[in-house]
Structure 1
Amino acid sequence: MFGISDLLALVISAFIILPVVMFIRELGYFTVSMLFGVKNPRFTIGSGPRLIKFWILDIRKYYHVYSWFSFDDVKRKSNFTYIIIYAAPIVTNIIVALTLNSLLANGFLQEQARFWNRFIFYVFFYVLFDSIPMLTTHGKPNNGMIIYELIRYGKRVDYNDDDIIPSTTQVDEDYDQEMKKVEKMQEKIEQLKSGKLEKEDRSTPEKQVMGERIQEDLKDTAEDIAKEELEIELEKNPKRKDPD
């Protein structure tokens, strides 16, 4: 039976454990890639508008389990370099999980044993998700699949053009575009509140386009019906001429 304690455990897992595990995972990328001379590194935490940007840290406004590491390039390029970088989050999580498990086995952290056991569970969840070669959303390979392809074929052989680890420059460009859209929408909302926006301009572009499409569909449907009725009438009265 799902009780209050289970609900509390779910909340702790979703808002405390998972974000920390994701942070540790991305920290593995960062630590190892720095050894190979990574260019323009960025550690992004959260989502939405930017709150603080300091050194490599980019902290966003909205709390979310998702955080990621990005960079533009590495100085020491080789298959070995990329294998080590993609293996970094797997190895980092394994080290953290085994360390916590050893502490629990030797009598440490016993007062919070339930919390740490749950923490270890989610760490190994990401280890399995990262290490077992598989294709994920839209056929995108996980880290295990990339490592397998690099070892066997010497390159990635999937059809995805985008990088598994995003480019920091591209992340910044996407962020700027999203913020421009947000600013335009906020301006329109303020105009609506103040009554400065004319009634005919209050419908969103999407609604206007949808209305035009509906009108075109109705027109096409009416024309099709008229043609069908005319064909039926001509079949009944073959001598009748089509009116000008």
Structure 2
Amino acid sequence: MTVRKGSETILFGISDLFALIISSFIIIPVTVFIREFGYLPVTYLFGVKNPRITIGSGPSVYMFGVFDIRKYYHMYSWFSFDDIKRKSNFAYIMVYASPILTNTLFALTLNTLIANGFLEDQARFWNRFIFYAFFYVLIDAVPMLMTNGKPNNGMIIYELIRYGKRVDYCEDDIIPSTTQVDNDYEEEMKIIEEKKEKIEKEKHGISEETSESVEKEAVQRQLAEDVQDASEELSKEKGSD
């Protein structure tokens, strides 16, 4: 946003900073959640197994139903499932098209409400929702390869329609398996706990080698004390004899 103040031009003002914060911490995360939630009703139609919507990242703090709430909240949410009972190209096309359709419906609904005089007082706020909803529609719908050659939903839909199967060289699942997500989570938490323990030891000036040597010294000291106690007992017994 450009604001003119006399001969001076301000390219980025306080109001823009406030709008950026609102977009980063409210609008984008909610839009991403709506996108991921779009998978759920469609997959239920085809008999989804073990669906999960994970919100945020890091350690899990609360789970209810299909929702897994993580500790670090931002714009990171994803949908996962293990399998679908009624498998067909049409089923998979509908699954991959579901976030596109959901965000499109969400944006058009908001746009219609604003155009008909509703939400006028907060029109600027809701217009940002419309902008980011269509942004994710664009990213999803236009066929393209993403990170490490992984196809987006649009590319998967294109391949299924044209070839009847995936033909890209990426072997990763586009929608992750819930079971695999749980296994990866357990491994990550195990690694994190190990690193935490290591950091705590380093904070107290105890390295792993020092810790091991301290344990050995403690065992040796205990053995020496046990030997000494045993010797004293034997001496007492001989003296009494």
Query: TM-score normalized by structure 2?
Result: 0.81
Equivalent position to 2:174, from 151, 164, 167:
164
Match of 1:97 in 2: 107
Matched, 1:134 2:141: no
Give per-residue Cα distances to partners, 1:180-203, cap 9 Å, x unaligned.
0111111112222334436778xx
Give per-residue Cα distances to partners, 1:52-105, cap 9 Å, x unaligned.
122211110011201001000000000000000000000011111111000000
Q: Is the 2:150–2:172 contact (alpha carbons within 8 Å) kept by the matching residues of 1?
A: no
Equivalent position to 1:119, from 88, 105, 129:
129
Matched, 1:81 2:91: yes
Match of 1:197 in 2: 207
Match of 1:29 in 2: 39
Aligned residues: 202
Matched, 1:154 2:167: no
Match of 2:82 in 1: 72
Quick one: distance in 2 between partners of 1:198 and 1:20?
44
Cα pair distance change 1:198/1:147, threshold 3 Å: closer
Quick one: distance in 1 between partners of 2:200 and 2:104?
50
Match of 1:180 in 2: 190
Quick one: distance in 2 between partners of 1:99 and 1:87?
18
Q: CA RMSD in A?
A: 1.5
Give the unaligned 5+ runs of structure 2: 1-10, 212-241
Shift of 1:35: 1.1
Give the unaligned 5+ runs of structure 1: 202-244
Match of 2:70 in 1: 60
Describe the SS at the equivalent of 2:207: coil
Quick one: distance in 1 between partners of 2:15 and 2:116?
27
- The letter for the 1-side match of 2:178 is T
Query: TM-score normalized by structure 1?
Result: 0.80
- The letter for the 2-side match of 1:180 is K
Which range moved further: 183-192 or 152-161?
Answer: 183-192
Quick one: distance in 2 between partners of 1:154 and 1:44?
30
- The letter for the 2-side match of 1:80 is F
Shift of 1:119: 0.9
Quick one: distance in 2 between partners of 1:156 and 1:190?
48
Quick one: distance in 2 between partners of 1:30 and 1:39?
11
Describe the SS at the equivalent of 1:64: strand
